[in-house]
Structure 1
Amino acid sequence: MADLASLVQRLEVAVGRLENMSGSGGSGGDSAGGAVSAFVEAFDVIVNGPLALYLSLSQKIGGDVQKHADMMKQAFNSQRQLLVTASSSQKPSDAVLTTLLQPVSKAIQQVQAFREQNRTSPLFNHLSAVSESVPALGWVAMAPKPCPYVKEMQDAAMFYTNRVLKDFKEKDKTHLDWVKAYVSIWTELQNYVKQHHTTGLTWSKTAPRAPAGGCPPPPPPGPPPPSVDLSGSSGGGDDNRNALFAAINQGSDITRALKHVSDDQKTHKNPTLRTTTAPIRTGPKPFASPAPRPAASATPKLPPVFELDGKKWKVFCLILSRTLNFLKQVVYAYKCNKSCLQVKNKINSIILDNCKKMGLVFDDVVGIVEIINCRDIKIQVMGKVPTISINKTDGCHVYLSKDSLSCEIVSAKSSEMNVLVPNKDGEFELPVPEQFKTVWDGQKLVTTSTEIAG
């Protein structure tokens, strides 16, 4: 590990020298030839373009947004350093690659930790948008399709960027420009990955390997087990087999050599023997072969579905976000994971079934919004909805608009439910009770929520 750390340090020094040479020569690349660092120069276009604009607007907003942006700048610097290393080195071993990826991984964790430490921030939606999408920088470890991963992480931020647009639409245009600049970072990164790293992070094919002398080779395997001679060429083998067959040929007489056990030595007839402590065998049972485990039946992967069945829109296993426009129809989303579904205009009803980490944004619902067997769901009401039903769901945040404050929320067998109500100072978060107390008043049962509920 000491050699590995020394290697990484030498690579960092080499990268610094190349950057200094590039700055003095005015070529704008990271190597003398420029060919191996073409994708580094393309990455700099993102850094100097949408990322720089995002940093500038974050500084203008200030506060937690500016601090978060400084962490994002460090994350992009770490990724650029990795790209420089890849442009001047052949692909290393998995162990060395893991070490090279650590700076990017730590930067991502720092960005996400900052959001969790500032959940009471007035700009929490800004922090959440960044925190939900920053894992997109992990595309360097994705193969063979890193581009869809970046798109998936961008969609994960859509729920919060929409909330920023809604909250500051008529207040401060700076925040609207901030959302536009931030989203464009991931859009440009998708195009960049698609063009320069189609099947994964591109490494140099002519430069020396990065892990030279990095990790010691694994120890040689031990000697093979002694072979068993079944040919019967040795005299001892014949004698053993003859003795075995002779014992078998004894028939019922073979039990004569067994020792008789009296009643006072039998545990089922002498209870006092059951309390004695017998030596416990710590090693494996002799001649016991492990029973084969039944192969787990793999759940077949079904293709995503997005189709209209009569008056019902079926949405199944969608990863990317969809924007739907229809009237007097029903949306049924099933097993959608890490996605955001946006429904525009009026809709009859919406059902989310067996979905995880999903965001739902809609304008107006005539009937009901049902959440069934879901986990970590966020619902944003832009217009009106009469009823929201939450059943068998863990983690459900409902963001109500000013026009939907009369909405009825019905819940059963659910936990971690919160309703966010707009007020003059922004939003006020209220927990939905989960624990109740029922008493008999002499005529009927009276149920009330307990003080610790929610």
Structure 2
Amino acid sequence: IVTMEDLMQRLERAVTRMEEISVTMQASSNMLNGNCVNGVDGGESVSVEVFDVLLKGPLSDYLNCSRAIGSEVEKHAEMVNEALQTQRQFLQMASTHQEPAQMELQDLLKPISDHIQEIQNFRERNRGSSLFNHLSAVSESIPALGWVAVSQKPGPYVKEMNDAATFYTNRVLKDYKEIDRRHVDWVHAYLSIWTEMQSFIKQHHTTGLAWSKTGQAASTKPDFSPFYDGPIAPVSLLDSSPPPSAPSVFTDDDSKPQTGSATPEHSALFAQLNQGMDITKGLKHVSDEQKTHKNPNLRSQASPIKTKDPQHASTPKAAAQKRLPLLELEGKKWRVENFEQKHDLVIEETELKQVVYVFGCSNSTLQVKGKINSIIVDNCKKLGLVFENAVGIVEIINSRSIQLQVLGVVPTISINKTEGCQVYLSKAALNCDIVSAKSSEMNILIPAGDDDYREFPVPEQFKTVWDGSRLVTEPTEIAG
């Protein structure tokens, strides 16, 4: 049955598409008639006009879908909107200025870098959210905005970041495909942003960001006044507490990237490689008199050993206070965090709509009674988890040495980025799907009598062959 609301949504999409086509045709006409050359005449450059199509189309759809879901997803979308508006302003500047020196370029790119860090830090601050997969999809792919610092072929770089998002959007589709259409529309809208971004780059910036050939060099940080007159989401007052540190995407940073996410480090690597021959400018010249292979006398001189002052030996990590253990019900979410050497943890009064989030626990055991919606075990080691029934997914991620026992039923068990996982299934749970990725030492134990189990290892190695028409992948074992 087609409702009036469905018809209205279709009509809005059709009108939006017609507007996009009109903008694109007008941009092409301006280019052919010579009315706009790099935006110098006061109008927008062709590439910026096409970028506006992306903002008014896929980005606008994504913002609407995020507002329909609300909560952390809506706040995250506001940050993404601000980041793309900033990139739009940067592209407008590039269309009217010549490319600056490397140091000035890093300063100009810093606002985009700050947006990327803010978006990723928001995900880290909300690891216990029931919408964590939504936040992860955005956080893992948002470094795609760093394409402006990628020379040669930035398009494939954006595609790589988009592929990182699909790992989590597939989970969203699996969880909500049959129960809530809003989340399915959200996935399609978000992924379309990066699909359109690839098309935009291929059309206007195939071999890297195209700077203007005329005008002054961009040597100072521009005044980012609002160029775009499209919908802009209001800025939320987020948590004022200092977020966890994250490496800059474009600037040098000696801090290590956050565990479990290689995208900031990847982007920083691109920025370093793009220096070209300038990357050697920081090396110190060594004269012939200082080279040991030309001066044998220098070989006998022992290098002085630097010792640290015991009074200054402490590091920020050592000085950091240990987080307090926590077991409490927060809304619909049970939070079990930071327990060590605790083997009597029990959650008894559960409801079907509740979820359990276990984080940072070690050498502990948790029992969950009753029927629960889903369970997530994140960043734990040597943890034993026993539960009765789960109607959704039970997920193990970024963990080590986990023992999981199902007493009732569970439809799906997911194991990701985990070393060592023993899963004890009940007879009622033998039909569950077990999905694993980037994990090792996994074993599934099947009941075989009274209190007895048969152990089966989960394959970690696969063989792929071409059969003439398609790739065929099957598990394999190391011989010998």
Q: TM-score, normalised by structure 2?
A: 0.41
Q: TM-score, normalised by structure 1?
A: 0.44
